[in-house]
Every structure is written in structure tokens, then in C-alpha cells.
Amino acid sequence: MTRQTAMHRVALALGLAASVAAIPAASFAQSQPLAQRETAVAPETNPPGDIPDNQVFITYKSAQGFSMQVPEGWSRSDTKDGVTFADKYGSIDIATAKAAAAPTPDSVKSTEVATLTATGHAVDVQKVRAMPLPAGDAVAVDYLSNSTVNPVTNRKIRLENRRIYFFHNGEEAIVTLSAPAGADNVDQWKMMAESFRWAS
């Protein structure tokens, strides 16, 4: 699986993938305006989504060759190239792919960030940076986005996300942590990122 394919699967798992309507050639000739980009929704006043300080974490070991600490009790959905854990609006998505070289902040900006911005729900990239971690040098992307529509409330909320690109021996793991904007998960996200390990 290519890095681009993994990016697309991650976006689908988080509800970040949005269909981009095809623009007929005639519309360009007539200089008609393109479809408007999705509008960012306002962050919640009291966002649901803080991971409690007393949350128990367990080690998840994947057949794809990695392990990571994840919150105990979150629902799990397995895929052929990774896994997603979710609880309310919080989620942890991990996708793996073959990669020719380790990502750099510049390579992530020119490829993955461009795709994320073009296909996501009102994505606003805040920062792209190198992130040294115990599993090796990684690249992190912090961004805001809208959630998908909640089928119960029929509402969207604003999410904050951290996507981390790990690389090891021709394999890439893309870890995306998401929570309602304003939720306080700094320590928990740091712990989970530092817990990521390659099996060999």
C-alpha cells in the first residue's frame, strides 16, 4: 500500500474525507465561481472529550508490526492496514503503508498536508514540525477540522487533531489523534505518542 493510499484511508476513518465535486470544463470557460469550501464550525464552549486523568491505558499490539498505549474501554475497529479506537468525539487512528523514505516536515507539507487541506472538512493546518520520539524521528501535523455530522444530534463540532508520521525500515505508520477543540488532552497525547514502538 502506498503512502497516498494510507492517507486516504486515515481521512475516511476520521470522517475527514469529503467528496470533491467534479467541475465541468464549461464552468471554467464561463468563469463561474468554484464550489465554496466548507465553513469551520465554532468550537464548543464546554467541549466533551477530555481523557480523564485516571484513565487506564493498555498496550495494543498490531499484526502490522507496531504497539502503542491506548485508552482502555474505547471501541476498536480493525482494518487491513491498521486500527481505529473511538469514544464519543475522541479517536485514535493508526494506518500503515510502505514508504520509500522517512518523511520530513517539507515532504509532509508538499504532499500529505496538501491532500488533507483539499479533501478534509474545513481543515486549518496550524503547525508542521519534526518530533523526536523514542520510536525515532517523526513528523507531526497539528490541525483543526470539522467532525462529520452526529447522527443523533445532527450537528458537527470543531476538532483538534495531531497526525504523527513514523518511519522504520521502509514502513510508515500514520497516527492521528483527534478530540473536540479545547479539550485538554496534551499529556495523554504526549504519552501515547511516546509509547509507540516498532516490533523490530
CB within 8 Å of 150: residues ≥ 6 apart: 156, 157
Tell me the Cα Rg of the chain.
17
Supply 18's cell numbers.
Answer: 469529503
Cell 472529550 sits at which residue?
Answer: 49
What backbone phi and psi angles, to 5 degrees, belong to 191?
-60, -45
Global pTM value: 0.78
Tens of pLDDT, residues 188-197: 999 999 999 9
Q: Which of 168, 182, 196 is nearest to 60 (CA)?
A: 196
Q: What domains, with CATH codes, occur in the chain? A: 3-16+57-198 (3.40.1000.10)
Supply 63's cell numbers.
Answer: 499484526
Sheet holding 66-71, edge to edge: 57-61, 66-71, 197-198
Which helix (DSSP H) or strand (DSSP E) does residue 57 occupy?
strand 57-61
Q: What is the DSSP letter of 190?
A: H
- Position 4 scores a pLDDT of 52
Alpha carbon distance 88, 185 (integer Å): 14
Q: Taking all residues of the chain, what is their mean pLDDT, rounded to a whole number?
A: 83
- Position 30 scores a pLDDT of 38
Beta strands 90-98 and 82-87, pairing class = antiparallel
Q: How far is CA 78 from each of CA 32, 62, 70, 93, rounded to the nearest angstrom?
A: 43, 10, 14, 10
Q: Which of 30-34, 44-48, 58-62, 163-167 has the lowest mean pLDDT?
A: 30-34
Tens of pLDDT, residues 53-92: 899 999 999 999 999 999 999 999 999 899 999 998 899 9
> 45 pLDDT band (50/70/90 cuts)?
low
Q: Which of 48-52, 79-83, 104-108, 180-184 has the lowest mean pLDDT?
A: 48-52
- Position 52 scores a pLDDT of 87
> 18 pLDDT band (50/70/90 cuts)?
very low
